[in-house]
Amino acid sequence: MRLSFKIFCCCALFSGALPVHSEERLVSHQAVYDIALASTAGGAASVVSAKGKMRYSIQKVCGQWRTESVFSLDIGYELSGLDTTNWKQTTRESADGCLFDFEVFVREKGKDRKSLAGSAACKDNKKVLRLSYPVQSEAVFPQNVLFPVQQTLRLLESASSAERNVSVYVYDGTRPEALYSMNTFISIPDRFHSDSVLGDVDLILGKKAYRFDTAFFEEFKTTDLPDGTPYYEVSLYYYDNGISDKIVQNFNSYRLVSTLTELRRLPELPCL
């Protein structure tokens, strides 16, 4: 299965705008994670090693959220040897979910090559997605489809309201067909935190941390997985300010874990 990168049931689908105060809980920051192999199913074609880095930043600029996710990952296979992935996504998103611009790059021969680009906006109580690269195309989503920052806000708002199950539709801009139904179970908060984090650790010390166990199901199937089988699964901890840790990605035959190692506070930037 192709790697899918993301920072993350029983209730009704969410619709409508989030409360204004929910956006205020997010803190602008840059986080660095170490990626390692958590487990493998074994077998002749199995993954036997994994090592990499992930850098994620989210910053409020002129009232909009800008993110950058950068991955460098080496995966070793029993039969085929080492496979290296270098991947980057940049996004711009409004908290009301009516603006979402995204670009995806892969690094080849020391240079970033664009592999996907597009934008989405609200129109007539729907969300219109327009891909501009590698081909031009258009899709129309219902108003209740969430983009990544709105997804995070929705989960944090649910956790603080003591909801335990959340179901939403999400488009994350990682693939042209990356529309998922996302089912999440939220565990009660604790004081979880990593002891070895460097940098602005005051961003997480003493903060509540909720565990989110999430399954993503493809709305436009690109695999031969049986019906009802998740495309992939993620468990992670979110602090109540939106910083994440212990991200475990389950790709069925193996699991990766990303552990927070560095934190840096970023300033919110005004409009120029």
Q: What is the pLDDT of residue 135?
A: 94
On the question of pLDDT at 60 being above 80, the answer is: yes
Q: What is the pLDDT of residue 64?
A: 95
Total-model pTM: 0.87
The three-class DSSP label of residue 28 is: coil
CB distance 67 to 58 below 8 Å: yes
On the question of pLDDT at 188 being above 90, the answer is: no
Q: What is the pLDDT of residue 51?
A: 96
On the question of pLDDT at 81 being above 90, the answer is: no
Higher per-residue confidence, 206 vs 157 = 157
**Domain boundaries of the chain, sorted by first residue:** 20-265
Q: What is the pLDDT of residue 192?
A: 66
CB distance 106 to 87 below 8 Å: yes
Q: What is the pLDDT of residue 21?
A: 43
The HSE-up count of residue 26 (CA atoms within 13 Å, CB side) is: 28
Name the band, by pLDDT with cuts 50, 70 and 90, for residue 194: low
Please identify which residue in the block is written with the tokens 């009516």.
98
- The C-alpha angle 168, 170, 175, rounded to 5 degrees, equals 155
Query: Which tokens belong to 29?
Result: 């920051």
Q: Phi first, then psi: give them for residue 159, nearest 5 degrees.
A: -65, -45
